[in-house]
Structure formats: C-alpha cells, structure tokens
Amino acid sequence: MLKIYNTLTKQKEEFSPLNPPLVKMYMCGPTVYDYFHIGNARSFIMSDIVRRYLEYKGYVVTFVMNLTDVDDKIIKKANQEKKSAREVAEFYIKEFFSDIEKLKIKPATYYPRATEFMSDMIDMIKKLEEKGIAYNVDGNVFYDVSKFNGYGKLSGKNTDELEIGARVEVNEEKKHPLDFALWKKAKEGEPYWDSPWGKGRPGWHIECSAMSCKLLGESFDIHAGGHDLIFPHHENEIAQSEAANEKPFAKYWLHFGFLNINEEKMSKSLGNFFTAREVLKKYSAEAVRLFFAQAHYRGPLNFSDELLQAAEKGVEKLQNLSDKIEDELQKNSDEGKQIEFDFNNWYEKFEQAMDDDFNSAQAVAVMFDFTREVNRIIAENESLNKDFYNNVKSFLKKTAEDVLGVISFQKKESLPSLEDDLIELLIKIRTEAKKEKNYALSDKIRDELKNLGVILQDTKDGTSFKKVRR
C-alpha cells in the first residue's frame, strides 16, 4: 500500500487517485532564463523517480511539467543580452531539454509554455473578477486574499502571520499586503498581450493554475515542486484555482527538500552555485541520480564532491553486476545448476521501501544488499541455470533501471578501433612507467582514462580496460 506525505494535511496518507488507474501529476518546471542549477535537478530527478514508481505500480501517469517562458527574470536577461524575451526563452528551453535528457529524466506527457495558454489565464482572471475576488487598478489586476477563507492552509500559517513574515513588495495599489498580481500592466519595451484590462502579461502564479487545470482538469491527483515554492507560489495557486472553480485543486502535494553545497546553502553570492551541466562534466548522470536517491526526497541534502565520488563507485558496483549478468547469459545454458533464490522477497523489500512515501534511500540499500548476495552466489557456483540470471536481470531492470534510472542494460556503443588502439598504447606506456617506478605517471594515465569513461583493471595476467557510460 503506497503512502504519501501530503504537505496539505501534514501527514502520510494512503494514495488513492481520483480515477484509478489514471494518475494526473503536475510538476513546477523551470523559468527559462538560464541553465538550471543542481538544486533544480534534485526536484526534477526525484519527481521523475516518483513518476517512474507510480508506473511500476501499474498506474497510467499523465505527467505535466510547465515551462515559464514569460517572466521578469527573462525580460531582465533579454535586456542584458540585447535580445528579445522570446529569443532568450527559446534558447534556454532547448538547453533545458538537452540537460534533462542527459540526466535520464523521462519526457513529460506535456510541456506547456505559459505563452501558449494566455487565453486560459485571461479567462480564469475574468472569472475571479466576476466573483469579486480579483480587482483591477489601472490595468494591474490583483487577487484579494481576504476573500478566500482557506488562504494559508498549505503553508500552515494564518494570514496575520504571513503578512508579518512574508517578503512582499510594497505596492500602494494593493488593498492588502498579501494580495498578489494576476495581471501586470505592460511597461515600455516589455512583451505584452491584449486583455480586458489593457496590454499586459500574466502573473507567475496564474500561469500554473491555468495550465494545470486546462491539461489535467480542475481537480487532479498530485502537485509537486521544490520546498521553496510552498509559499507563496503554491499557496496562491490553491487560492486562485479553488476560488475560480469551486472545487478542490490538487489532492496530494509533494515538496522536495533544499540542497546545500558543502554544508552551506547554495547561492550565487557565496560562489557555490553549480549548474546541472557543470556537474555532469565531472560525474555521470547515473551517479547524480543515485546521489539524490540515497536521501529521502523531503529532507535537506548536502552536495559535495566526496559524496558524488562515492555515488559514482556505487553506480559502478551496480553496473558491474548488470554487465556480469549479460555476460553470463551469453555463455550459460539451461543445463546449469538450479538454486533456490527468493526473488519475490527482494521485490517486496524494494516495494516496502518505496511504498513508504517514496523512501528511495531504503530502496537503494535494498539494491546494494541484493547485489552483494547475487555476487556471493555467482562466486560460489561455477555454472548456474540461465533462469537465475534472467531473474536477476529482470529484477535489476525493473528496479535499478526503470524506477531509479541508475544503471542501463542497453548495449554500449563501441569506441572506434583507433581509439581502442590508443587506449592499449596508453596501457603499454603505463606498464612501462610502473616498471620504472614512475608511479605519478602511472596513476595519472589511470585517472585521466577514468575521467574519459575508461576503467583500467589490473590483474596478474596484465591490464584490461572497460568502457562505462558517462
């Protein structure tokens, strides 16, 4: 039985979708004005693992991730680069897709762009205005927070506390300090759209409400995003959507924890700000995914080179077993030794972990226990029946590959033979260096090849190499 911690109710709840086996899930995507950072990557990867596990459980998931392609940050970047806002957005949308593909994140069912849903946003604002919940001040339209009784139910604070503690911009046009913009009057040089209130553009919050309701319905199953979006973004989404539609908005709210860099909060001002693509230059996508999966999605996580290096070694252990299984399936037959091995027990352990609010950390521990046990059995038996290897492969594929995305059974592309020859040449030079006790050069060759995805394996018979996914 899958249980999910619901930010809205502040407790774990049995997962019961509105219309099983269908599950409708919305994930807040990027504002496309720059390359996304590794903190964003945590949210994107963990939402991907949640989605994959729901599919593992047999649900049919409609997964929506929005692209905010009109925003103050995009306009600022466009002015800095002397480009149009559209040019900036298009460039970073393309780069976003490139980066999430490298991170092995499954494509969403829909990637709605805010600029493509302008009429839906205007319609929702009109509906709120007709109900007396939105008000127009000279082309700027605001949401009147005092008209929505449930405001603060997601963040768990009342409006008085929020008013004191919230970082809200001073605006004399607002009736109430917590009122927020639904429609912004166009300033000179900014992109704009025609509306009943004049030329302007939508506020950030109304974009997600309009897109999610349009694509998933006025009530849907899961809304996910980073912990920093609980207030004001998600709080405002609930207020807008439920006031406009008079229905519950999202049933379950999932929020992903903060990422710290070397025990400090990640920020540009501290100079410890990394983009996902910078991290992928040093570490494999599988290592990044394993690193995130080894912590519970709701808690804070410290990001460091030491932890990523450990994750890389963990991936190597899992991938080595996968490669070994593939090799054994090629040479073993149905006449090999039959052994008793309770695969169902391992599936149950994996599912017990993931059913407990997507506890991927415990699920990863199950994977490593399974790997140790299988390696022990292979080492103790010369020839095993092919069924054993097929069952091992099936387990690893369904869990480590299909859910966690930390290994791959796909055939790896071979490097051209010239590159193989060059690797052999470097191995020969390294062997000579070791004979001459030039260990600095020997280690440098080994480490540099590893950075290129070539692992050297020293044995009593000499040195061989293996290419791994980068």
- Establish whether 208 is an annotated binding residue: yes
Q: Clarify whether residues 384 and 422 are in a common domain.
A: no
Q: Give me the sign of the Cα torsion angle 85, 90, 93, 94.
A: negative
Cα–Cα separations (whole angstroms), residue 28 to 25, 115, 186, 470: 10, 16, 25, 28
What angle is formed at CA 410 by the lines to CA 408 and CA 414, rounded to 5 degrees? 115
Q: Clarify whether residues 275 and 327 are in a common domain.
A: no
CATH number, domain containing residue 351: 1.20.120.640
Per the domain annotation, does 297 fall within a domain? no
pLDDT attached to residue 167: 47
- Establish whether 233 is an annotated binding residue: yes
147 contact partners, CB below 8 Å, separation of at least 6:
132, 133, 243
User: What distance in Å separates the CA atoms of residue 70 and residue 78, rounded to the nearest whole number?
Assistant: 11
Q: Clarify whether residues 423 and 324 are in a common domain.
A: no
Per the domain annotation, does 43 fall within a domain? yes
DSSP symbol at 115: G
- Establish whether 28 is an annotated binding residue: yes
- Establish whether 296 is an annotated binding residue: no
Number of domains making up the chain: 3
Question: pLDDT of 10-54, one tens digit each?
Answer: 999 999 999 999 999 999 999 999 999 999 999 999 999 999 999
Q: Clarify whether residues 147 and 244 are in a common domain.
A: yes
**In terms of residue numbers, what domain contains 346?**
305-401
Q: Clarify whether residues 356 and 430 are in a common domain.
A: no
pLDDT attached to residue 168: 47
pLDDT attached to residue 411: 55
User: What distance in Å separates the CA atoms of residue 218 and residue 337, rounded to the nearest whole number?
Assistant: 57
Q: Are 56 and 18 spatial neighbours (Cβ–Cβ below 8 Å)?
A: no
140-143 and 180-185 strand pairing: antiparallel
pLDDT attached to residue 415: 45
Residue 409's φ and ψ, nearest 5 degrees, are: -95, 0
Q: Clarify whether residues 435 and 379 are in a common domain.
A: no
Residue 363's nearest CA partner among 39, 49, 41, 60 is 49
Question: pLDDT of 111-156, one tens digit each?
Answer: 999 999 999 999 999 999 999 999 999 999 999 999 999 999 999 9
- Establish whether 268 is an annotated binding residue: yes
User: What distance in Å separates the CA atoms of residue 5 and residue 226, rounded to the nearest whole number?
Assistant: 14
Per the domain annotation, does 287 fall within a domain? no
427 contact partners, CB below 8 Å, separation of at least 6:
445, 456, 463, 465
Rounded mean pLDDT for each run of 10 residues along the chain, 470 residues in total: 98 98 98 94 98 98 98 95 96 97 97 98 98 97 96 89 57 88 95 98 97 98 97 97 98 95 70 88 96 97 94 96 90 80 98 98 98 96 90 98 93 60 90 90 90 83 74
pLDDT attached to residue 409: 87
pLDDT attached to residue 413: 45
How many CB atoms lie under 10 A from the CB of residue 11?
Answer: 10
448 contact partners, CB below 8 Å, separation of at least 6:
none
Per the domain annotation, does 290 fall within a domain? no
